[in-house]
Amino acid sequence: MILRFLAGLGLGGVWGVAAAFISEVFPSRQRGRAASFVISAWPIGFGAAALLARFVLPVYGWRVLFFCGIGAVVAAIYTLIFVRESEAWLADRAATSVAKRSVSVREIFSDDLRVTTILGTLAATCALVGYWGANTWIPTYLIKERGLGTASMTAFVILLNVGMFTGLHFFGWLGDRIGRDRAVVVSFIGAAVMLPIYAVMRNDTMLLWMGPLTALFFPFGGLFGAYFGDLYPARVRSLGAGFCFNFGRGLSAFAPFALGAIATKSSLATGIALCSVAFGFAAIFTVMLARAQRHRVSPAQLATGVQFARE
């Protein structure tokens, strides 16, 4: 658990910094596609891990499979040596005095940014609860409740990530066309509709092809990377985007436990279907965030909106 926690710190840190870096390097008209392209490495890695598990796990065991994660060290060394800081960050650094270079979490909760941070965190939390609640238990669901073997399960999981990879690129393009907030809302609505259909599908062939179609609507990691990065000034861009996304990631850690508790009372299929509710709330909070950016709502108005969403 301790090692998993440390690995989570690294994974969480990468997303926030990458989102800020992309926002500073690419022009606005390309950020959705750029962020989605970078984040699309996630389903590629997930699919590769599933493929490795198929061949490595039965023969060599989980320790050798874990050792394959050493590729992250290679990526870190490459980034350290070859990737330069963005010009926007260097310019902001040069314009900021040494005394004011420290950054505090209080800055993203200042009067100008408080509503953005709260709504962004709520949207990311709901989205990640829905995603991890379903994604953590889908392999177990396929084996325990659908009776698939390990080899068949990995094929299903690989196809799921093919769908997510495709969705990242499609919604990245869509975000640059119609706006990142609208593209995020469309993806959440699609996920809320497709998850219950996937969970109740009884034909194995249909289930196989419904997987990538469902995962097509899980591209929010890339969209949020471009969207959150645009909401904060350069000084706190990495902190703000990273806080919204990773605070939600931390809370979503409880989603698999909740879904497991539901499964003991009912079934994993029911728990996976209920994850659609979280995506529905994520859509609501994203709409509120977009409206807040256009109209700059006050904290009091925010509280009223949150109460309405809860009811």
Of 242, 252, 282, whose CA–CA distance to 12 is shortest?
242
Q: Give the list of residues 6+ apart from residue 117 with CB closer than 8 angstroms, or none.
A: 108, 109, 240, 243, 244
pTM: 0.76
Q: Which residues of the chain have pLDDT under 70?
A: 97-101, 296-311
Q: Cβ(298)–Cβ(304) under 8 Å?
A: no
- Per-residue pLDDT tens for 52-65? 888 888 888 888 88
| CA-to-CA dists, residue 48 to 22, 37, 102, 207, 209, angstroms | 25, 17, 39, 21, 19
Within 10 Å of residue 119's Cβ, how many Cβ atoms? 25
Within 10 Å of residue 150's Cβ, how many Cβ atoms? 14
Note the pLDDT of residue 298.
47
Distance CA 170, CA 175 (A): 9
Phi, psi of 87 (to 5 degrees): -65, -35
Supply the DSSP symbol for 143: I
Distance CA 155, CA 212 (A): 11
Taking the mean position of all CA atoms in its chain, how far away is CA 122?
13
CATH 3.40.630.30 corresponds to the domain 2-93+106-310: no
- Per-residue pLDDT tens for 116-173? 999 999 999 999 999 888 888 888 888 888 888 777 887 888 888 888 889 888 998 8
Domains of the chain by residue range: 2-93+106-310
Supply the DSSP symbol for 108: G
Q: Give the list of residues 6+ apart from residue 92 with CB closer than 8 angstroms, or none.
A: 234, 235
Taking the mean position of all CA atoms in its chain, how far away is CA 162?
16
Note the pLDDT of residue 116.
92
Q: What is the CA radius of gyration of the chain?
A: 20
Supply the DSSP symbol for 112: T
Distance CA 104, CA 40 (A): 31
Q: Give the list of residues 6+ apart from residue 80 with CB closer than 8 angstroms, or none.
A: none
Distance CA 63, CA 54 (A): 14
HSE, side-chain direction, 13 A CA sphere, residue 284: 18
Q: Cβ(32)–Cβ(223) under 8 Å?
A: yes
